[in-house]
Structure formats: C-alpha cells, structure tokens
Amino acid sequence: MKKISLTILLMLATSLASAEFSHRYIESHQLQSLSANGIEMAYRIVGEGQGRPKVVVIMGLGGSNVVWGDTLIRGLVEAGYQILMFDNRDTGGSTRFDSWGTPTVWLQLLKHRLGFSVNAPYTLNDMAVDTVALMAAVEFEDAHIIGTSMGGMIAQIVAAQYPESTRSLISIMSTTGARHLPPPTNVAESRLRNLATGDAAVDREQMMRDRGFFPESMTRHLVAIFSVGDRSVEVANIKAPTLVMHGQDDALIPPAHGEHTAELIPDSELVLLENMAHNLPAEVLPELIARMAAHIDRYEASRLTGS
C-alpha cells in the first residue's frame, strides 16, 4: 500500500511538474478571491469579452491554477473563449487545510479497498460544489467544463450532479474510479523508486513548488479521491456533450481509464493522444487545444441553430 501511494505522488511529481513552462501570461491577470461554499477561493478570469463562450478549467492533484501553463490558456483565449481558472481548495490562494494534518494514505487506501469509510477533511463532491459556487458568484452560471486528472474527476461530478451548469464536458487523463481498472504500471514504479530519496527528492519537491504544486495538499487530495470511490453509475448519467482525451503512454492512469469513461457516457468522443503520458507535453498542446476548440465550437453552433 505504501508503495502504491508513493508511486502516485512521485509520478505526479515527474510528469506535470517536470515540463518546461511559463506562467507569466496567466499571472498578468489578477488573482482575485471570494467566499464560495464556505471557503475562500482564489481565481482568475482570462479572455474577458462579451459574447465569448465561457470555459472553466479544473486542475489536478495538488496543482494551483498556474500549472495549466501559458501555452494552453493563451491558446484557449485566442480560440475565442473566456476562461475561469482557480485554485482548488487546499492549494494556492484558496483555503488551506494544513491544520488538518497529513493523512496516512496507505491506511485510507486499505479502508477504501475494504469498503470502509475513509477519513478525509473533504471529498471530491465538496470540490465540485466549490466549483459550481464559484461559477455562480462570477456569473459563469453555465460553461464548458474542462478538467485534468483529479480535476477531470471533479469535472465529471459537476457534469453529473449539476447539468444546468454544464454546457459540455472535456475530461483529460482522468478516471471513473472503477475498481476493475488497471493500477499504475510496474515500469512507472521502478523508474520512480530511484528518485525517491536523498537530494533528488529535495530537488524534485522544489521543482514541484516552482511549477505551482503544493505537495502538502497532495495526500489530502488523494483521500478526497478515495472517499468517493467508484463513480461509474454517476458518470453513466452524464448527458452533456463529452470529449474524453487520454495519453497513450499514461503509466499513472492507464488509457483503459479514459476508454471506460467514454464507454459510459452516451455519444461521447474518445481521443487517445500519441506522445502523451500523464502530462501535457508541449508537442501535444496544439492538438489538445484544437480538439478542445472543435468540441466547444460544435456545441456552440448546435446551440445557435437549435439542432
């Protein structure tokens, strides 16, 4: 159990956190804060302008809003959209739960697998309510919801539980949490164990922080995931037009997870991307942005024509 938990955290550290990136463009837009769902939430709105379709982006485990990087956010703005991006609870400028302490992840994972209640300060359902409450507060009453990894899980919950707030769904390198789906690969584990000790571990944590991650929140985010378990029944009830994208080389959340998501959601589109693991590599971003834009524009066109 401990090895699985370590693998998850290290895999995240060596994927999204390792890419070269810039967030100057993102940070040129003011980070604001408001109270939503009983907590303070830090957010930015990028690409403001009348008539622009509204898009909400939800980041994954331990990541603040800047982890999206300039290329992806600028690409969506240049495609004509207004973007709401924010720090999930327990990251960045949003309410932190450091006083709750660090959960014993292997124990909570064992309890989850045995069907017992997981001890967590909050759940993914709480984070979905955060998202919808923030959307309402900034007049994004309905929007295209994009989420990556854990953010994709939150996006799925928003689409399932709050269909009135969801124009369409884009789920990237995410999962339904179904128990039959494959775990992280052995190859990923063996690569990562070599990076887990000594100066390499210290350097890696600093790299994560520089990239916009908050390592201290990652274990709490993990137990938030464990606490909701298998969401297959809920995901199967999603009615919003859905695009599922997954990296063919994803060793943390293997492609079968994306395939299962697409199988459950009626009329969804599945795209498996070459040269993409559990990350958003620079060489894949143009295709990723183009496919997201095509999906959003298709919905917006059908909405205008009533078809």
Average pLDDT over residues 165-191: 84
Report pLDDT digits (tens) over 128-157: 999 999 999 999 999 999 999 999 999 999
Mean pLDDT for the stretch of residues 264-273: 98
Q: How far apart are CA 208 and CA 180, in angstroms?
A: 31
Residue 294 has pLDDT above 70, yes or no: yes
Within 10 Å of residue 114's Cβ, how many Cβ atoms? 7
- Rounded to an integer, what distance in angstroms lies between the CA atom of residue 215 and that of residue 48? 32
Position of tokens 């400028």?
93
* Residue 200 scores a pLDDT above 70: no
165 DSSP assignment: G
Write the CA distances from 254 to 64, 68, 289, integer angstroms.
24, 21, 21
pLDDT above 90 covers a percentage of the chain that reads 67
- Please give the pLDDT value at position 20: 52
- What are the pLDDT digits (tens) for 237-265? 999 999 999 999 998 899 999 999 999 99
Q: In 3D, which of 94, 93, 90 has the Cα closest to residue 124? A: 90
Q: What is the pLDDT of residue 23?
A: 92
Give the integer Cα–Cα distance in Å for 23 and 67. Answer: 8
Taking the C-alpha atoms of residue 306 and residue 92, their distance in angstroms, rounded to an integer, is: 40
Q: What is the pLDDT of residue 104?
A: 66
Phi, psi of 37 (to 5 degrees): 55, 35
Confidence at residue 199, expressed as pLDDT on a 0 to 100 scale: 53
- At residue 60, the pLDDT reads 94
**Among 91, 102, 57, 111, residue whose Cα is nearest residue 229:** 111
Q: Which tens digits make up the pLDDT trace of 64-107?
A: 999 999 999 999 999 999 999 999 999 999 999 988 877 666 56
CATH T-level fold of 2-302: Rossmann fold (3.40.50)
Question: So what's the pLDDT on residue 78?
Answer: 98
Q: pLDDT value at position 59?
A: 96
What is the rounded CA–CA span in Å between residue 6 and residue 140? 37
pLDDT tier at 3 (50, 70, 90 boundaries)? very low
Q: Say what the pLDDT of residue 147 is.
A: 98
Q: Residue 288 above 70 pLDDT?
A: yes
* Confidence (pLDDT) at 5: 46
Strands 32-36 and 54-58: unpaired
Mean pLDDT across the stretch 150-174?
Answer: 98
Q: How many CB atoms lie within 10 A of CB 259?
A: 15
pLDDT in tens, 109-135: 666 665 667 777 899 999 999 999 999
Distance CA 158, CA 126 (A): 10
According to DSSP, the β-strands at 32-36 and 39-46 are antiparallel
Please report, for residues 142, 263, 296, the alpha-carbon distance to residue 244 in angstroms, rounded to integers and kept in the order given.
20, 10, 13
| pLDDT band at residue 216 under the 50/70/90 scheme | confident
For the chain, the domains span 2-302
Residues 201 and 13: beta-carbon distance below 8 Å: no
Query: What is the full DSSP assignment across 116-141?
Result: PPP--S--HHHHHHHHHHHHHHTT-S
Q: How confident is the model at residue 192 (pLDDT cuts 50, 70, 90)?
A: very low
Give CA–CA dist 107/246, Å, rounded.
29
pLDDT at 184: 78
